[in-house]
Structure 1
Amino acid sequence: MKSVYILVNEDVVLSSAAAPLDIFVRTNDILRQMGRAAAFDISLVAEQASDIRLGGPASFACQRSLEEVPPKSAGHHQGLILVPAFDGEWDQLRSKNSAAIAWLKQHYEAGTEVASLCKGSYFLAEAGLLEGKACTSHWAVIDDMRRRFPELDLQPDSVLTDQGGIYTGGGAFSSLNLVLYLVEKFCGHEVGVRVAKNFSIHRDHMNQAHFSIFSGLNRHGDKAILDAQNFIEEHYGEDISVEQVASQVNMSKRNFIRRFKQAVQITPIEYIQRVKIEVAKKALESGKRNIQALTYEVGYNDSKTFRSVFKRLTGVTPQDYRNKYGRL
């Protein structure tokens, strides 16, 4: 039996802790119905064993404290620590949870596996567990994590990662794919399918790019590049080129590309594509039905190129995106 420790604090997102708890408990029920032994021994763990009251009208009864779950014990029982998402700013949570961060590091070094859901990846990164490893998180915090932890191999489009006993899940409810992945990894494919069907969770969502909101990537101090970004955003409906944008800010193409990438962290052509696709996403969400017309409205001359760029940046086709998020 695998010991699963769900790490809880007063800032935890309720669903991010309760949903995996429910899934692991239900997995045990399904295994018993199949005539097999339960696979998981689940505990809620907090810095101090007590009722942890959350920001909303809910609380968790944590049976065990960090001291009651020493690294040797969890490693001996093939343990897994699950770190849910949190609400609030990391700078505040980091100081409040220093003991938990140190505890995570000690456990992993002793052989315990560690998984994070959504923004729970901050805990793993702060503990130094993600250095050089492929990892993911909520799409909205990827830029912040890159600034704080430049040594990470962040995979913002991935819904889950698995490397060296470290697992990370994507944003919000997409991270439940990681919980299902762990169920299947430890209990087998048949059980994984049964659990997924029980909770009506699709198991084929391997990309979260279609959830992201293009933020403009304009938190830098290069005025000329900001002017270039503004020009791109104002002329998204045109077939603009990098040379055209460079001339708007009086730079050579070579110097412009170098300076743009240094400031924005992506190339000018990728920025142009992202702006166009974000406009297209908004149109599809609002009920735009004619994708051919939308192709020209965002400055593409042929639908094949538009569909190719759209799928590369979002993970789905324009038609699929409209079906998922468009108004009926």
Structure 2
Amino acid sequence: MGIQGTVVELGVLLYPGVQMAAVHGLSDLFEVANRIAAEQPQAALPRLRVSHWQGDDPHAPRRVHDSLPGPDDGLQAVVIPPSLAGFSASQASASLVTWLRQQHAAGATLGGVCVGSILLAESGLLDGRSATTHWTSARAFAARYPLVRLEADQPIVDDGDLITTAGLMAWAELGLRLVDRMLGPSIASATARFLVMEHSASASQCGSNFAPILNHGDSAILKLQHWLQANGAVDVSLPVMAQQAGLEERTLLRRFRAATGLKPTQYCQHLRVGKARELLEFTKGTIDHIAWTVGYQDPATFRSLFRKITGLAPSEYRSRFGAAPGATSRSQ
């Protein structure tokens, strides 16, 4: 997870009409996670630093609260909480949109809760990507952002570097997913138990959903990671990835593993299986169709890799964690 003394900063965005219960709830959730992690000194877990950022500053969002003041080493995640009053595109100032794009380009994971996904869409970062939003905003969202693959029937779309949720109270699950990434699934589960919150059973029982390392500082590799996230790592090859990164193939292999801890092929497998987990949990598509959707022409190969990564066959995974009533699959 990290080396003792490491600090990772999570930013929470403030804007006019923001739901303060979510702002304070996220701050409390991260602090509880810190306390639980501190009880496991042998694990050498990092400490979460929680900062609040005033998003309506005319120049750029500025830090107005810091739970652990210190050197500015960059944000690892930015959370956009929901609003009871709703959120309109007019609230997305040019400076705020630029700041979000800068944070993303620097390796931060961005998460939008409920109508917070509108701000992510306004930034253009969701173009060509899957996302969800509150059902009351779905029609207007789809009309304004036709390049976004809106999946309004899904409660959460975790696309690795961009996470969107559909419910006002989904800030809790988003917060727990970030704890899972930064401190591990056992700390996330313990935090949920302490706060008496629901947490995705699939994450705690079947390993976390794939959480790519994005804050490694290698801009060429980060550019490639964002490209892979955007296209689902479907129909990619080493020469194509090298071209996207602007590197020679041998250099790409060396730098990619140094930055992410995985070979490019392994990384793509994790991305595809992560998307398949989401489809198995929230859709009724057949397993063969899901295999094809995430980039596997041979369903047997998909089943083998899925079991290797999650420990379950796709049909077992859906039976245990599927949220779609009556979800069935062919050739299980």
TM normalised by structure 2 equals 0.51
Q: CA RMSD in A?
A: 3.0
Amino acid at match of 1:183: V
Where in structure 2 are the equivalents of 1:288-303 lying within 5 Å?
Answer: none
Q: Which digits, 9 at most, give the CA deviation of each residue in 1:246-299, with x for residues without a partner? A: xxxxxxxxxxxxxxxxxxxxxxxxxxxxxxxxxxxxxxxxxxxxxxxxxxxxxx
Alignment partners' CA distance in 2, 1:17 and 1:201 = 16
Alignment partners' CA distance in 1, 2:172 and 2:150 = 19
Where in structure 2 are the equivalents of 1:215-294 lying within 5 Å?
Answer: none
Q: Secondary structure at the match of 2:199?
A: coil
Q: Which residue of 1 aligns with 2:64?
A: 62
Contact kept? 1:169, 1:176, Cα under 8 Å: no
Choose which of 92, 105, 108 in structure 2 pairs with 1:109: 105
Amino acid at match of 2:163: Y
Q: Which residue of 1 aligns with 2:11?
A: 5
Query: Residue 37 of structure 1: CA displacement?
Result: 4.3
Contact kept? 2:19, 2:84, Cα under 8 Å: yes
Amino acid at match of 2:35: D
Contact kept? 1:196, 1:202, Cα under 8 Å: yes
Query: Residue 178 of structure 1: CA displacement?
Result: 1.8
Q: Secondary structure at the match of 1:202?
A: coil
Structure 2 CA distance for partners of 1:164 and 1:197, relative to 1, 3 Å = closer
Q: Which digits, 9 at most, give the CA deviation of each residue in 1:123-179, with x for residues without a partner? A: 100001111111112122111110111111112222222224111122111342122
Contact kept? 2:8, 2:46, Cα under 8 Å: no
Amino acid at match of 2:48: F
* Higher Cα radius of gyration: 1
Q: Which residue of 2 aligns with 1:150?
A: 146
Q: Which residue of 2 aligns with 1:192?
A: 188
Identity over aligned residues, as a percent?
21
Q: Which residue of 2 aligns with 1:135?
A: 131
Choose which of 81, 84, 88 in structure 2 pairs with 1:84: 81
Q: Which residue of 2 aligns with 1:181?
A: 177
Structure 2 CA distance for partners of 1:130 and 1:22, relative to 1, 3 Å = same
Alignment partners' CA distance in 1, 2:138 and 2:96 = 22
Question: Structure 1 residue 126 and structure 2 residue 127: aligned?
Answer: no
Query: Residue 42 of structure 1: CA displacement?
Result: 0.7
Query: Residue 183 of structure 1: CA displacement?
Result: 1.1
Contact kept? 1:5, 1:42, Cα under 8 Å: yes
Amino acid at match of 1:40: L
Alignment partners' CA distance in 2, 1:151 and 1:82 = 22
Mind listing any 5+ residue stretches in structure 1 that lack a counterpart? 50-60, 65-72, 207-313, 318-328
| Equivalent residues, number | 191
TM normalised by structure 1 equals 0.52
Query: Residue 79 of structure 1: CA displacement?
Result: 1.8
Q: Which digits, 9 at most, give the CA deviation of each residue in 1:37-81, with x for residues without a partner? A: 4431110111478xxxxxxxxxxx9237xxxxxxxx97x545211
Alignment partners' CA distance in 1, 2:158 and 2:78 = 14
Alignment partners' CA distance in 1, 2:141 and 2:201 = 23
Structure 2 CA distance for partners of 1:63 and 1:192, relative to 1, 3 Å = closer
Q: Which residue of 2 aligns with 1:46?
A: 54
